[in-house]
Structure 1
Amino acid sequence: MEDRRESELKRFCSRNILSILGFSSIIAVIALLALGLVQNKPLPENVKFGIVLDAGSSHTSLYIYQWPAEKENDTGMVSQVEECKVQGPGIANHVQKLSEIDVYLAACMERAKVVIPAPQHTETPVYLGATAGMRLLRMKNGYLASKILAVVTSSISNYPFDFQGARIITGQEEGAYGWITTNYLLGRFTQKSSWFNLKPTGGEPQETYGALDLGGASTQITFVPKDKTMESPDDTLHFRLYGRNYSVYTHSFLCYGKDQALLQKLAKDVRNTDGTISDPCFHPGYQRKMVLADLYESPCTRKFETFLQFDEIIIQGTGNYQQCQQSILQLFNTSYCPYSHCAFDGIFLPPVQGDFGAFSAFYYVMEFLNLTSKEHLSPKKMTDMMEEFCSQPWEKLQVYFSDVKENYLSEYCFSGTYILTLLLNGYHFTAETWKNIHFMGKVRSTSVGWTLGYMLNLTNMIPAEEPPSAPLPHSTYVFLMVFFSLILVIVVLLCIFAFHKPSFFWEDVV
């Protein structure tokens, strides 16, 4: 009788232990499947597209962006899928040849039709933003500027896209959109997640990057200053992005893009000559002729205009970096400052702080000069390299860079010297803060510039409030997967052990 009771007890315990182990294994398998399904939803196959044309002073570029259709106004990352450079100068140079604008834009617009699937053409928005070149033309002749925009609008409207209009953006907008693009691509607007929390930490957001933009006609500097007290309200913008408030300093220096700065320097230097300029910003042996009327055509050079006895000037290069820099410094009026701290020309500039992304011509010029090294070359090292480059004979340079257009190659000495002078003497970066400047052309295969920020703003792609967070931070997801996997392994091992050595469990129970 006693043996029978013991046998029944053993069977009862065995069934219950196996039931518990089986139930635990089922729970672990369900948890693993649920985690995998929730965290790894299939990516939406349908995407949306947007097109932005950057109508700059010296060129026009077309950018095509895409993003997951189901992530609009959420956390979906916008990425660049195509960049098309329009052949020829900026649209402001088409004042006397308006009939050619159709052909001018055709190649890149046709390219957009190929890249974007035909069923999505009618729902793809197209924006055109004109920058400093058109701002200068509007200053000179508002009617002609409006006429160019009207012809551009008519031309783009012939394509099957959802054209949203062409407009001249302000310098402040250009700086702000460049700042938004930089920090959006670097992920600086969103917060880091803690290891086991399901939501991001409630602490301070990541520190934003400043933005340094250089074009042909203007340059912009935009950043969040350390001192929140702004002495110049006109240079202040307020944003609310991803649930955070940002007070941003931004200023656009019209006429201080690299092309207009060169024209200013030439107009200044030619006043005390007989028509021949010995220019240290061009290589030894280089020579260029220029019509005097073309030099004074820009509103940026009007302040240097004077009566001269000749109609044409001759530029002869001497290739001296130090003399070139001294000539450029005369463009920056630092004789007065109505604020506690200024850049130049009496413009308020808070002390620069934090990291900066330097893009557009800042990057292209410095990349050509091999000065974008990640080793963070010091200003002294860069100066030494520029001295060596500017002193190179023009004939030797033409042979070495035979594939570079003469017009571009001849101005790299000036452009490189101008960039160093602008950053060090105009924006007051020091040897210590210089290491915070990062010359960048692309981030995650997307060009850094104002165009992406412009589209993000117009399409409301960056929400003012923080969007819903992902189901689980990656670290938490990995932890839970490992945790439930271990439980499943332990349960399986116990089942195997119970099957082969059932007496171990029975003896404990008895």
Structure 2
Amino acid sequence: MSKNISLKMSLQVPLLPAMFLSLVLVVLALAGVTHAQHRATAVDFSASLGNLLPCLTRPANSSHIFYGVMFDAGSTGTRIHVYTFIQKNPEELPVLDNEVFHSIKPGLSAYADMPEMGGYTVSELLKVAKNTVPRLEWKRTPLVLKATAGLRLLPPEKAKALLEEVQDVFDESPFYVPDDSVSIMNGTSEGILAWVTVNFLTGHLHAESGKTVGILDLGGGSTQITFLPKSKKTIQSSPADYIARFDLFNSTYELYTHSYLGYGLMAARLAALGALGAEGLEWRVFRSSCLPKKFKDDWSFGGLTYKVSGIVDGYAGYKLCYQEMLKVVKGVIHQPYELKDTSIFYAFSYYYDRAVDAGLIDGTQGGTLEVRDFKKSAKEVCNKMSKYRSVSPFLCMDMTYITCLLKDGFGFKENTVLQLTKKVNNVETSWALGATFNHFHNLKIH
């Protein structure tokens, strides 16, 4: 069954700053949607922002500034976003004035057997919020943590223990802790929110041409693809739970979207090495032709440490590495009926990071690439591993996986354009901003 999301909207909203409220409308509608939920979600706005947060006695001229703290608990790190908003008039929409960002590694999932340490890392990051938000505003500032693929991959009891530790840290903090302030966000919401964010920020949701851009997100534990199909056959030929339908700006959007848990970059390394679910990690060595022949080291992910190495007496290089990666994605990643040559996709996270490592784009400005550029770079990196070993001994494996995922996984054409970026109009493409607004509005979700 497809996911039906109905958003009641009658506002004629300009691009800035009203884009933030539009994100809220979608995010809040998505917040409770999972693959098992198929009923329409109606969103009813019944209060203004100023009346929702805890009431404090405050000078009149300071009521225009408010704050929000959002934790992104990913598989490879935990990040804190501290947002400062300005609302000049209760009848106007707020403007994002500033963002303070900080991150630490590893992610919460690395503390699966030491949940108290996971809680400690969050408490350390909370110092950033205390140093950013004025003391008088602490009790009015919502504090929220959303975990993603790292915790989704853990056994439920271990994920629960980590979340409980975080909840204890939050409850002991001086900030405002809303209901459901600590939770695991489903991958579908990640993908849809990123699509709406980017298309809103780039103005595509208002464009008369009706053209939109797709999004690709590659995390450590999962990867997402979301785009607006141009052909009904794409919708008809796709699994039912890959389609999400919602109304926005008097238009109905039917998106192709899916999150592949276990196919993020780090999880793909494990799969290629044959280390998924393996035992005897203290003595076993996992080898790959994607690694330099003389390379041998310990590598940690998800709270476990693996001994990995190249194949000393074997062959290495792009062709052999590609065969290893093909086994990871073949028969698992669904290929949509259409991925037009003219479609433009925005690619984030490890797509961006590895393109920087390989010298394909500028680390500050980002850039535009075609799928074939990843393939060309993967060949160069894999056939000259010694040259790139100082950057990362895993660069050949990672670039080859990205190439394989795009071509043989999703089925992109080699000339599909990818826009590699971290921000659009100086706004993070992360879901974190929209999730922050989630806790600023008193919504009735049915």
Class of the TM-score when normalised by the shorter of the 2 chains: 0.7 to 0.9
| Residue 328 (structure 2) pairs with residue 328 (structure 1) | no
| Residue 379 (structure 2) pairs with residue 372 (structure 1) | no
1:118 maps to 135
Deviation (angstroms), 1:224: 1.0
Native 8 Å contact 2:272 2:288 kept in 1:
no
Q: How does 1:43-192 map to 2 (within 5 A)?
A: 46-70=64-88, 76-78=94-96, 81-86=99-104, 88-137=105-154, 141-164=155-178, 165-189=181-205, 191=206
Amino acid at match of 2:288: D
Paired with 1:126 and 1:95, the residues of 2 have a C-alpha distance of 23
Native 8 Å contact 1:51 1:63 kept in 2:
yes
1:390 maps to 382
1:227 maps to 231
Q: TM-score, length-normalised on structure 1?
A: 0.64
Amino acid at match of 2:326: L
Deviation (angstroms), 1:452: 2.2
Amino acid at match of 2:346: G
More strand by share: 2
2:41 maps to none
2:404 maps to 421
Native 8 Å contact 2:119 2:162 kept in 1:
no
- Percent identity between the aligned chains? 26
Per-residue CA deviations over 1:187-235 (Å, capped at 9, x if unaligned) read: 333x36xxxxxxxxxxx47533211111111100011111246233312
1:359 maps to 348
Paired with 1:212 and 1:350, the residues of 2 have a C-alpha distance of 17
2:262 maps to 255
2:426 maps to 445
Amino acid at match of 1:362: Y
> Unaligned 5+ residue runs, structure 1?
1-42, 193-203, 299-310, 335-343, 402-408, 463-510
Gap change, CA 1:453 and 1:420, over 3 Å in 2: farther
Paired with 2:245 and 2:74, the residues of 1 have a C-alpha distance of 26
More helix by share: 1
Amino acid at match of 1:217: G
Native 8 Å contact 1:80 1:447 kept in 2:
no
Gap change, CA 1:326 and 1:80, over 3 Å in 2: farther
Paired with 1:321 and 1:289, the residues of 2 have a C-alpha distance of 23
Name the SS of the counterpart of 2:211 in structure 1: coil
Native 8 Å contact 1:72 1:461 kept in 2:
no
Native 8 Å contact 2:113 2:158 kept in 1:
no
Deviation (angstroms), 1:63: 1.1
Native 8 Å contact 1:219 1:257 kept in 2:
yes
Name the SS of the counterpart of 1:416 in structure 2: helix
Native 8 Å contact 1:80 1:446 kept in 2:
no
CA RMSD, 1 decimal: 3.6
Name the SS of the counterpart of 1:63 in structure 2: strand
Paired with 2:88 and 2:245, the residues of 1 have a C-alpha distance of 29
Runs of 4+ with deviation above 6 angstroms:
268-271, 294-298
Amino acid at match of 2:81: Y
Please identify the structure whose Cα radius of gyration is greater: 1
Paired with 2:262 and 2:378, the residues of 1 have a C-alpha distance of 24
Name the SS of the counterpart of 1:78 in structure 2: strand
Q: TM-score, length-normalised on structure 2?
A: 0.72
Deviation (angstroms), 1:428: 1.1
Gap change, CA 1:45 and 1:259, over 3 Å in 2: same
> Unaligned 5+ residue runs, structure 2?
1-60
Deviation (angstroms), 1:313: 6.5
Gap change, CA 1:287 and 1:332, over 3 Å in 2: same
Paired with 1:262 and 1:73, the residues of 2 have a C-alpha distance of 51
Gap change, CA 1:370 and 1:257, over 3 Å in 2: same
Native 8 Å contact 2:187 2:259 kept in 1:
yes
Paired with 1:152 and 1:327, the residues of 2 have a C-alpha distance of 38
Native 8 Å contact 2:112 2:158 kept in 1:
yes
Paired with 2:204 and 2:91, the residues of 1 have a C-alpha distance of 17
Paired with 2:423 and 2:307, the residues of 1 have a C-alpha distance of 41
Native 8 Å contact 2:368 2:420 kept in 1:
no
Native 8 Å contact 1:44 1:70 kept in 2:
no
